[in-house]
């Protein structure tokens, strides 16, 4: 083959490769999507990640060392305040309480009988005093003997002594009534510890013990939350948390329902930030609590801190950061030009900006394309 033919074939191959490179690589890498800014309202939002939690979680604990006799509810059930939840084995306490009540009744009857005896003694005392006074006058006139007078006086003293003894017995019986009643009260309180009731209207989120299980004091059996106390315990970077205040509107997305948005509001902001993560706890409550709900489920919140009216808006993916300046790439005469902008606020996908004309042709940078530089030729 002649040398000139070889050169011709090689040139053709190079030309073909150049055409393919230009059409398949160079032009795609130099061709950028162009958009123009829009105008409208923009809700400035702050993003946070957290979990479903509650202001108060009520733990129903065992109060005595015993066995569980009955658990009347299960996880996922609603309960009313004062509803009987758990019955513990009270062993012989009911019998002891019954005996203590009998002791109280017996002591009261003893007091009652002693008062009747006292009434009889008072009547005898009156008679003995009358007899004594009569014999005293008769003795003074020598109409009665000394022995008769002494007997009348002794009888009066004996009645008085019996009255004093009966009064002492009544006082002792009253003390016995108080002692027995205290025993009844103590046993009643103790027996009440074997029945556990719901402290609030709420939702059972955990059942941590079973029937016939032996438990110790403070052993958790059930956990209940008040639905009014359920919220998202979210953490937000300190740098963007300054504009957050209570009662601001928020949207909530649960991990179990990623395509559904729940409405909420900021209910509480923690007074202290985490010194390690430099994040602040923000508690976002549901406007309407979803049912069922799951404590500790992961959630995301978007808190609306401000509403910008009639703002110039560009997509967030069009905003670039060059050194310490924010900006966008504009297309001017088929060349890239960096335009500085002032960001007024952002939401999840858009940024409100200043110093940008509405007819500007904004280039969208992309990883699969050439990096944009000032004066880069674009298509």
What pLDDT sits at residue 50? 95
Identify whether 315 is part of a domain.
no
Alpha-carbon distance of 294 to 51, in angstroms, equals 9
Identify whether 246 is part of a domain.
yes
What pLDDT sits at residue 43? 83
Residues 71 and 210 in one domain: yes
pLDDT digits (tens, 9 = 90+) for 109-144: 988 998 898 899 889 889 888 888 887 888 788 777
pLDDT band at 21 (very low <50, low <70, confident <90, very high): very low
pLDDT surpasses 90 at 229: yes
Identify whether 15 is part of a domain.
no
pLDDT surpasses 90 at 252: yes
Task: Give the residue numbers spanning the domain of 64.
Answer: 59-89+194-224
Domain boundary among 182, 202, 224: 224
Q: What is the CATH number of the domain that holds 235?
A: 2.40.30.170
pLDDT digits (tens, 9 = 90+) for 6-18: 556 555 566 555 5
What angle (nearest 5°) sits at the alpha carbon of residue 71, between those of residues 67 and 75? 130
pLDDT surpasses 70 at 189: yes
Kindly state the percentage of the chain with pLDDT values over 90.
40
Name the least confident of 23-27, 47-51, 88-92, 357-361.
23-27
What pLDDT sits at residue 18? 52
pLDDT surpasses 90 at 251: yes
Q: What is the CATH number of the domain that holds 114?
A: 1.10.287.620
Domain boundary among 278, 307, 336: 307
Identify whether 261 is part of a domain.
yes
What pLDDT sits at residue 29? 64
What pLDDT sits at residue 346? 79
What pLDDT sits at residue 15? 59
φ/ψ of residue 313, rounded to 5 = -120, 140
pLDDT surpasses 50 at 103: yes
Residues 103 and 114 in one domain: yes
Alpha-carbon distance of 239 to 277, in angstroms, equals 12
pLDDT digits (tens, 9 = 90+) for 294-321: 999 999 999 988 888 898 999 988 898 8
Q: What is the CATH number of the domain that holds 216?
A: 2.40.50.100
Which H, E and C letters describe the chain, residue by residue? CCHHHHHHHHHHHHHHHHHHHHHHHHHHHHCCCEECCEEEEEEEEEEEEEEEEECCEEEEECCCCEEEEEECCCCCCEECCCCEEEEECCCCHHHHHHHHHHHHHHHHHHHHHHHHHHHHHHHHHHHHHHHHHHHHHHHHCCCCCHHHHHHHHHHHHHHHHHHHHHHHHHHHHHHHHHHHHHHHHHHHHHHHCCEEECCCCEEEEEECCCCCCEECCCCEEEEEECHHHEEEEEEEEHHHCCCCCCCCEEEEEECCEEEEEEEEEEEEEEEEECCCCCEEEEEEEECCCCCCCCCCCEEEEEEEEEEEEEEEEEEHHHCEEECCEEEEEEEECCEEEEEECEEEEECCCEEEEECCCCCCCEECCCCCCCCCCCCCECC
Domain boundary among 190, 210, 242: 190
Give the mean pLDDT of the chain.
Answer: 87
Q: For the sheet containing 66-71, what is the strand order?
A: 195-197, 84-88, 66-71, 214-215
What pLDDT sits at residue 6? 56
Of 75, 112, 81, 105, the closest CA to residue 206 belongs to: 75
What pLDDT sits at residue 356? 86
Domain count, the chain: 3
pLDDT surpasses 50 at 151: yes
Identify whether 316 is part of a domain.
no
Kindly state the percentage of the chain with pLDDT values over 70.
92
Residues 99 and 186 in one domain: yes
Q: Which residues contact 368 (CB under 8 A, 6 or more apart)?
A: 29
Alpha-carbon distance of 232 to 52, in angstroms, equals 5
Alpha-carbon distance of 144 to 133, in angstroms, equals 12
Residues 71 and 159 in one domain: no
Of 347, 274, 292, the closest CA to residue 50 belongs to: 274
Residues 84 and 213 in one domain: yes
The model scores a pTM over 0.75: no
What pLDDT sits at residue 26? 47
What pLDDT sits at residue 13? 60
Identify whether 31 is part of a domain.
no
Residues 133 and 78 in one domain: no
pLDDT surpasses 80 at 107: yes
Alpha-carbon distance of 287 to 250, in angstroms, equals 9
What pLDDT sits at residue 24? 45
Identify whether 3 is part of a domain.
no
What the block records as the tokens of 337 is 């030009």
Q: Which residues contact 105 (CB under 8 A, 6 or more apart)?
A: none
What pLDDT sits at residue 145? 83
Which one is predicted more confidently, 345 or 68?
68
Residues 97 and 128 in one domain: yes
**Count of C-beta atoms within a 10 Å radius of residue 111:** 18
Residues 264 and 298 in one domain: yes
Name the least confident of 188-202, 237-251, 273-287, 360-374.
360-374
* Residue 292, preceding peptide bond in cis (omega within 30° of 0): yes
Identify whether 367 is part of a domain.
no
Interval 28-50 mean pLDDT: 85
**What is the Cα gyration radius of the chain?**
47
pLDDT digits (tens, 9 = 90+) for 203-227: 999 999 999 999 998 899 999 999 9
Alpha-carbon distance of 346 to 318, in angstroms, equals 13
Interval 148-166 mean pLDDT: 88
What pLDDT sits at residue 93? 82
pLDDT band at 242 (very low <50, low <70, confident <90, very high): confident
């Amino acid at each position: 083959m002649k040398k000139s033919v070889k050169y011709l074939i090689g040139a053709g191959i190079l030309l073909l490769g150049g055409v393919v490179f230009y059409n398949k690589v160079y032009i795609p890498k130099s061709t950028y999507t162009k958009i123009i800014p829009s105008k409208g309202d923009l809700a400035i939002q702050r993003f946070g990640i957290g979990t479903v939690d509650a202001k108060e979680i009520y733990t129903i604990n065992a109060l005595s060392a015993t066995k569980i006799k009955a658990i009347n509810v299960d996880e996922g059930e609603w309960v009313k305040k004062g509803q009987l939840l758990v019955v513990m084995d009270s062993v012989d306490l009911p019998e002891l309480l019954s005996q203590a009540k009998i002791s109280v009744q017996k002591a009261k009857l003893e007091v009652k009988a002693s008062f009747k005896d006292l009434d009889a003694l008072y009547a005898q005392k009156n008679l003995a005093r009358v007899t004594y006074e009569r014999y005293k006058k008769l003795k003074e006139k020598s109409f009665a003997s000394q022995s008769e007078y002494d007997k009348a006086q002794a009888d009066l003293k004996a009645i008085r002594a019996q009255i004093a003894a009966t009064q002492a017995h009544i006082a002792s019986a009253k003390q016995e009534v108080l002692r027995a009643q205290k025993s009844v009260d103590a046993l009643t309180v103790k027996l009440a510890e074997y029945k556990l009731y719901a402290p609030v209207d709420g939702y059972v989120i955990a059942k941590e013990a079973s029937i016939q299980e032996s438990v110790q004091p403070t052993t958790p059996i059930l956990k209940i939350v008040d639905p009014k106390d359920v919220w998202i315990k979210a953490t937000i970077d300190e740098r963007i948390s300054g504009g957050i205040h209570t009662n601001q509107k928020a949207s909530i997305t649960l991990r179990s329902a990623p395509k559904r948005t729940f409405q909420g509001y900021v209910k509480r902001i923690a007074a202290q930030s985490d010194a390690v993560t430099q994040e602040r706890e923000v508690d976002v409550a549901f406007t309407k609590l979803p049912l069922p709900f799951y404590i500790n489920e992961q959630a995301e919140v978007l808190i609306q801190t401000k509403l910008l009216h009639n703002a110039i808006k560009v997509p967030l993916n069009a905003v670039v950061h060059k050194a310490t300046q924010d900006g966008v790439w504009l297309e001017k005469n088929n060349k890239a030009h960096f335009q500085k902008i002032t960001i007024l606020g952002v939401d999840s996908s858009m940024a409100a900006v200043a110093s940008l004309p509405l007819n500007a042709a904004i280039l969208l940078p992309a990883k699969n394309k050439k990096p944009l530089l000032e004066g880069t030729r674009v298509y």
